[in-house]
Chains A and B, each alone.
Chain A
Amino acid sequence: MTTSKRKFSFSISLFFIYLFIMLFSFVCLYPFLIMISGSFSTSVDTMKYGFSIVPRHFTAAAYSILLANIGSIANSYKITITVTVVGTILSLVVNSMMGFVLSRKKVKFKRFMNIYVLITMLFSGGMVPWYIICVHYLQLKNTIFALILPYVVSAWYIFLIRNYFNSVPEEMYESATMDGASDFLIFRKIYMHLATPVLATVVLFSALAFWNDWWLGLMLTDNNNLQPLQLLLRTITANIQFLQSTNASPETQKMLSQVPTQGVQMAMVIITTGPIILLYPFVQKYFVKGIMIGAVKG
Chain B
Amino acid sequence: MKMNSQVLKKSSQINQQPDRKEHHKKANSTWNQIKGSKQLYIMALPAMILLFMFSYLPMFGLLIAFKQFDFSKGILGSPWMKPFYANFKILFQHNSQALFAIRNTLFLNFLFIIIGTIFALFITLLFNEIKNKSFKRITQSITFLPYFISMVVVGIFVTSLFSFDTGIINHLLTLVGLKRINFYMSPQYWPSILVIVTIWKGAGYSAVVYLATISGIDPSYYEAAEIDGATRWGQMRYISLPLLMPTVIILTLLAVGRIMNADFGLFYNVIGDMPTLYKTTDVLDTYIFRALRQTGDIGISSATGFFQSVVSFVMVLVCNKLANKYDKESSLF
Contact = CB atoms under 8 A, between A and B. Distances in A.
B75 interface: yes
Question: Which of A47, A49, A132 gathers the greatest number of chain B CB atoms within 10 Å?
Answer: A132
Contact of B62 (A121, A125, A219, A237): A125
Contacts of A138: 53, 57
A22 to B, nearest CB: 7
B233 to A, nearest CB: 8
B59 A51 contact: no
Interface string B84-108: 0000000000000000000000000
A67 B312 CA distance: 46
B143 interface: yes
B152 interface: yes
Contact of A291 (B54, B150, B208): B208
B50 A149 contact: yes
Which of the four size classes fits the interface of chain B?
Answer: 35 or more
Main secondary structure of the interface of A (DSSP, over half): helix
Nearest to B330: A298
Interface in B1-49: 30, 33-34, 37, 39-41, 43-44, 46-48
B204 A127 contact: no
A124 B143 contact: no
B44 A51 contact: no
Contacts of B204: 28
A129 B39 contact: no
Given A20-B126, A125-B59, A127-B292, A101 B148 contact: no
A118 B46 CA distance: 16
Nearest to B215: A292
A62 B225 CA distance: 59
Contacts of B130: 17-18, 21
B47 A153 contact: yes
A183 B43 contact: yes
B58 interface: yes
B152 A233 contact: yes
Contacts of B203: 24
A195 interface: no
A259 to B, nearest CB: 13
Interface stretch (A69-77, A241-249, A250-258, A260-268): A260-268
Contact of B141 (A14, A208, A281): A281
Given A21-B127, A124-B59, A137-B57, A97 B47 contact: yes
Contacts of B41: 101, 107
Given A21-B130, A104-B37, A182-B39, A149 B166 contact: no
A118 B172 CA distance: 50
Given A124-B58, A137-B74, A291-B212, 13 more contacts: A21-B126, A21-B139, A31-B161, A94-B46, A123-B312, A125-B55, A126-B309, A132-B61, A133-B58, A149-B50, A230-B150, A276-B149, A295-B209
Which A-B residue pairs are the 8 nearest by beta carbons? Answer: A129-B61, A125-B58, A50-B171, A212-B150, A98-B47, A126-B305, A120-B55, A31-B157
15 contacts: A24-B143, A24-B203, A50-B172, A101-B40, A101-B44, A123-B309, A128-B302, A129-B63, A129-B302, A132-B298, A158-B47, A212-B151, A281-B141, A288-B144, A292-B212
